[in-house]
Structure 1
């Protein structure tokens, strides 16, 4: 009896210690706990667009800047484009900026009026957004509108002799189809256009010609 009372035993009449075991898989926590740890934001991009209650002063400030292009996405979040699928889809805006430059040089173009339906700053500053823009991108509205304008512009170029005359022939493959800056890869130095599958950055034919001419002029 004395030995039994002095012996240290794990457990009691109401509790038994866990048995030895190897844990091969950790059970994930409940979703509610995970979302709370993320402060109810998206784990991928950290964005959240649901409205929250704010003070009258804050609401007045937000209303006053709602349509102003104040947000540079490279400073707000450098990886937003790759993490937010809605923003990634809106990369077609870069095509719109390029194609608009081509249409401005066409006296037969009537498509430019459709570009006026889009916010003007989106056609000038590649990375500036207003809060209204970001909300419309998130809802998919701005992407649909921009794609419709882009498709109309491409159709005009396909059937316009003036615009087709400003296209390029790929100097790598020499295929006769006309290509434009908004369609294919561009040499960063001379801005010549090529098929993406053909383009080799350090072997640009136009850059080679420019370098050859420069050397000849220097030797004269």
Structure 2
């Protein structure tokens, strides 16, 4: 019945509710005529006045919905007004109450919505180049990232953010034009060397009491900004360039065999992360005495030397090439090139025992192929020409010795007990002299 009454009242009004061409001034002069359309006729809900529209925009449940048309300046102004009213409401509500907590959450949502209106995501490019950085737009919606420029949280749900594919520098799209730090990967490509002095401090006065990177004024007392020392470079940085991140310092590893993390600045942390797998540490030159105190290093060096002796067998063996045995060391390619260069990751794995286990397993696989599985590799073995007894010998066997001139293999005891020259060297020398003897005759 209520619906029929409202329908009858509508028909009596003789007005089209979708006809909005009537002038408001003429509507008022005509009084309660067909231009006067009352919302009460079509809805049982109370009418929302224009003065309440701003608060409804901020506190309604659907304030996240995106309108079909483009936003105008009035939408931003209404959001700002709603934010101010939310702030006032938070101060008026009792502290730690549920209503206050809900209002705080709605205030956060309003601010994020305002940020979205100011920085529309559709206008951002997918790739941007800046100071040798190669920034790529992220599609992840994670909210656990932190902007490296402004140190604020990246709200991945509504904010556009970028990551450098070279040094993994993260920042908001709005912070892109404020970046002053070049990509660390360029430093890695041009300067692939570690600082091998332990915390080479030069003093804050030498830095003119400014951050070593952004030149912001700093002091030890924290006024105007706290000075934080990087254990890798020894220099002082501001809180924006030094987040108290920790990393293992190469100089402490080489000189003290110490793997405790120390505080470093952001640029040093990225540099060490990019350099961790590069074989640039030559221990024989930097600290040769380290092998006298670390037994694990001696073991790894022997395994690497054996692998280098096995490499010629695999390069001339068809079965080994098809099985790609050498590719088992693809993550440590320098192990099949030399035996004296180490990466920081190698030293870390040596200290934990991980490298010894994996390298021993690979060494066993290589030796099994040469000595047992492959007949061609077995045929390249040696017989001790000093005693002419025993099994076939290989240069990587632990009980053998190798002639430095002709690479012949002998039993270790036979080689050192025999005072004569190497039989193979003597034979080769005799063959070289035969043509000269024939010419003299």
User: What TM-score comes out, normalization by structure 1 length?
Assistant: 0.73
- How far did residue 187 of structure 1 move? 0.3
Which position in structure 1 is the counterpart of 2:392? 178
Matched, 1:163 2:377: yes
1:169–1:178 CA contact under 8 A, matched in 2: yes
SS of structure 2 residue aligned to 1:211 = helix
Matched, 1:216 2:395: no
Distance 1:156 1:118 in 2: 21
Matched, 1:65 2:278: no
Distance 2:349 2:260 in 1: 13
Cα displacement string for residues 58-113 of structure 1 (whole angstroms, at most 9, x for unaligned residues): 22221221111111111111222232111111121111121122122111222615
Which position in structure 1 is the counterpart of 2:363? 150
Which position in structure 2 is the counterpart of 1:97? 308
Larger CA deviation: 116-125 vs 127-136: 116-125
Which position in structure 2 is the counterpart of 1:137? 350
- How far did residue 202 of structure 1 move? 5.3
Which position in structure 1 is the counterpart of 2:317? 106
Cα displacement string for residues 11-61 of structure 1 (whole angstroms, at most 9, x for unaligned residues): xxxxxxxxxxxxxxxxxxxxxxxxxxxxxx89xx73212211122232222
Which position in structure 1 is the counterpart of 2:422? 204
- How far did residue 176 of structure 1 move? 4.4
Distance 1:217 1:190 in 2: 21
Larger CA deviation: 112-121 vs 74-83: 112-121
CA separation of 1:56/1:137 partners in 2, compared to 1, >3 Å: closer, same or farther?
Answer: same
Distance 2:345 2:305 in 1: 19
> 5+ residue gaps in structure 2?
1-251
1:111–1:153 CA contact under 8 A, matched in 2: no
Q: 2:285 aligns with which of 51, 70, 75?
A: 75
User: What TM-score comes out, normalization by structure 2 length?
Assistant: 0.38
CA separation of 1:119/1:131 partners in 2, compared to 1, >3 Å: closer, same or farther?
Answer: same
Q: Which has the higher contact order (CA 8 A, sep 6+)?
A: 1
2:308–2:338 CA contact under 8 A, matched in 1: no
Which position in structure 1 is the counterpart of 2:410? 194
> 5+ residue gaps in structure 1?
1-40
SS of structure 1 residue aligned to 2:415 = coil
Between Structure 1 and Structure 2, which shows a larger proportion of strand residues?
2
Which position in structure 1 is the counterpart of 2:259? 49
Larger-gyration structure (1/2): 2
